[in-house]
Structures are given as C-alpha cells and as structure tokens.
Amino acid sequence: MAHYFKEPSHTFSEYLLVPGYTSEDCIPANVSLETPLVKFKKGEESAIKLSIPLVSAIMQSVSNDTMAIALAREGGISFIYCSQSVEDEAAMVAKVKAYKAGFVVSDSNVTPENTLSDVVEIVSATGHNTLAVTDNGKHDGKLLGIVTSRDYRVSRMSPDTLVKEFMTPFDKLITAPLGTSLKEANDIIWENKLNSLPIIDENANLKYLVFRKDYSEHKDNPKELLDSQKRYVVGAGINTLDYEKRVPALIEAGADVLCIDSSEGYSCWQKKTLEYIRKNYGDSVKVGAGNVVDREGFMFLAEAGADFIKVGIGGGSICITREQKGIGRGQATALIDVVEARNEYYEKTGVYIPVCSDGGIVHDYHMTLALAMGADFMMLGRYFARFDESPTSKLNINGTYVKEYWGEGSNRARNWQRYDLGGKTGLSFEEGVDSYVTYAGNLRDNVAKSLYKVKSTMCDFGVTNIPDLQKKAKITLVSATSIVEGGYHDVMLKTTSGK
C-alpha cells in the first residue's frame, strides 16, 4: 500500500515568524549573514563560506559570468549554467577567475565599420555606455578608439553613420600598459578626469577597462567573496551525463565549487556522478547535489558524498514539474523535513552538510523564514533574473520594462540532460515555461534592500547571526483567513492617476 503523509505540505506563505525580545545592541548593522557553503566536521570550519546566504540558479537566463562577478562582489556565489557546451561553460568560469577587481573585460565592442544604429542597439540591450572600438570587434582586439554617449546624438545623426566617423580615436585616448596596478589606474583616472581607462598590451590590444565608478564600488564591497589568490569565487553546474568531460574542464578553468543540476536528485545517476568525483579528486573538489524533498533523499545524497544538498521540487516560479508529473512537495514542509535529517546526520556522524533551499521564495520575508527553518542558504532564479546583470535583454512590453526568464525544463532551454533518466535524447514534455519578469534595476541595490529586511527581522528575535536565528526562531502555521488579514483589507486604496 502506498505511503500517505498525514499532514498536507505547506509553502512559506503559510507561516509567520513570532518575534521575541530585542536587546539594545541588536540592530541590523550588527547582524552577520555569514553561512557555510560546503560540509565540514564538528570543530572545524567550512572550506567555503558565503558572506550572504544567496546563490544564483543554474539557469541560462540567470547565471553567466556577468552575474557571477556581480554576486561575488556582494558576498554570494553564482553557479554558471551547464546547458551549454563544455568549452563555453569553462570559458565563462575562466572569465570570472581572470577578472581582477576593478579591471573589466569589455563585453560591449564594435568595429569602425559598425554604424550608429549598431551602437544604439548594443547600448539598449546591455545598458553599457562605453563601447570599445577594436579592429575585429572583440574584447581583445587592437584598440582603435572608444565610443561613449558623449560622442553621438541620435536626434542629429543618421543611423547609418559609421563608428569611425564619431568615435574618439586611439591617438586622443589616455591609456595605460598591462601591469598597471589598480591604484595607479585610479590615479590616472582622477588626474585626467576620465570616466574610463583602457589597459593595453605592447601591441595595443585591449586587455581591460578600468572605470571611475568601479573604484568606489570596490571600496564599498568589504564582504566580496574571494579565493586565496584574491580572485572572485565562482560555481559551475554539471549534469549526470557528460560529467567525465565537463568536471575536469571546469576544474581546470578554476571553478571553486560544482553543483549537479537536476530536477530530482534521489537517483543512481547522481550517486555515479559523485562517485566519479570522489574517485578522481577526493575531497578537493566541492560538489553540491539535489534536489530532494524528504529525509530519505537527503540521507542518500549525504552518504553518496555531497558537499551540500538542495531542497525543492516544483516550487520555482517557472517550474511546472508538479503540474506535468505530479511530483514534489510544499517548499516549507520539504525544507523542515530535510533539515531534521541534516541535524540527525550531524549528531550521528559529526559532519555538517549545509542545506540549500531552492525555489518557493516569492517575498523577501520568505528568505528569513527559509533561514529560520534551517536552510544555510538559498538558490534563487526569478529574483536574480530581474536585474541588469542577468544575461537576458531588457524589453519594453506595453510600457513596462521586463526581462526574459525561462525554465531549464522549457523547450527554449533544451536542457534535456537535466531530466535524464538513463539514455533519452530529448525533452518529451516541458517542465518549465518561457516568461517575463518585471525589470528591477541593479543587483547591488536590490540585494541590499532584501537583506536589510532579513537583518531587521532577525533583530526582532534578538539574534545577530543565522545559527542563533535557527535556535531561537518561533514559527507559526497560519490559516487562510490569517493570510488575508496580513495584507491590506477593508480600505480603499488611493489612486496615483491624479484624478
């Protein structure tokens, strides 16, 4: 006979936090959100710690090298998507590791033969106002000039005007040689009142751009996530099919941590993948696994050697796995069950395996709930897809700015490896949708706002770190009527039309 759970599974929206005593020194400025990323033994520390409990999802529309750099600046980590060739994913990882704080590899480039129309299109798509002009239109081509918003006026110039006619040519640029330190570059910028400084090699090939604005940003990021060589920390997704080729390439490229990308992780395929990594790399390569939704799934992946375990099936905003296959569990219930298993495993073995809550985060307060319920960090897709730094284009739909967002289980992603059941060669049906999300601006400001809410709520319990939150939090299940009561009700909202 089938096993029936006695209680229904619940989502984060069905819970509220009950505040406790707040002491005088418990203010958001004193709250630390540091949290472990990979497993460690009792009495030891995790080999990789996050400054903030946020990682970006292994998705085409979310996590590329641009997102990875931006999130590492804030203290989180991105997992570069694996639904691309091994070579392309490794190149993205290498680009993040080669990035020097303040030294930007130009990703908006044109040739002298491009037109003003091309420039406007690139600026609209990327939001970048500084374009390098190189002989081949690539980031490492011979530098011939620079185009900024000061070099052209769309209203007074023909769209067919060639870049070479309005760019600032090389002989009028101030540049610096490769090997220039960040301090030296910034001194040149300030002394010459520049907005950007090209860094070139002995053959005038462009290597980096240093921006005035990045100097202050670097100073303002004390929690940025760096490795022992002061390079940004970056993760990478892998699948359970080509791991024997993908894993070595990603490690060679410099990936700090890997994560198996799968809609359902309680499988022999994940075990085989983990066994391959442990056999060939021992514990030197860190790898997360998942997703699971119950104790049995956690214990299976823990014994298989996972460094962290992801929780959640069907809770993502673009995921339709539950609708298509009828599998999954309410995210809050799944997390509570897996955290209990994690704690049991820790008591039994002395090994603490961090839990990642993946999916189901709709409101910022859900982040606090997930942490209070025992998650060490959260993997987010929709949340990050809204920002400037995500890989997709910003569009104007009926007067509203949006960004594209699609699931890895959609036909657009064509990521059938994620749903492999031992040899199938394509998607038989979709487990994700293709959609838009409302554009929200830059990552830095939005993450700061969201995490300030988390810190403020933690202060309502009188705690200043995540472990204490998990010990002291009081959580209550609420009724449907209580949920309605929690929003505005029995009032008429004022309109903003001016009528």
Q: Which residues are catalytic?
A: 319, 418
Looking up tokens 């309680």 gives 266
The answer to whether the beta carbons of residues 61 and 404 sit under 8 Å apart is: yes
Q: What are 432's two structure tokens?
A: 């994700």
Q: What are 424's two structure tokens?
A: 């199938």
Ranges of beta strands (E only) in 164-317 are 168-169, 176-177, 196-200, 206-211, 235-238, 257-260, 287-292, 308-311
Cβ-count burial of 492 within 10 angstroms (0-12 exposed, 13-18 middle, 19+ buried)?
exposed
Ranges of beta strands (E only) in 377-494 are 377-380, 394-397, 400-406, 434-438, 474-477
Ranges of beta strands (E only) in 417-473 are 434-438
Residues in the chain: 499
Residue among 98, 99, 97 nearest 233 (CA): 97
CB under 8 Å to 209, separation ≥6 — which residues? 103, 104, 105, 106, 130, 132, 196, 197, 198, 199
**H-only helix segments in 200-354:** 212-219, 243-253, 268-281, 295-304, 321-325, 331-349
d(CA 270, CA 274): 6
Helix (H/G/I), strand (E/B), else coil: 206: strand
Cβ-count burial of 232 within 10 angstroms (0-12 exposed, 13-18 middle, 19+ buried)?
buried
Q: What are 439's two structure tokens?
A: 């554009």
Pairing mode of beta strands 400-406, 434-438 = antiparallel
Q: What are 277's two structure tokens?
A: 């990594």
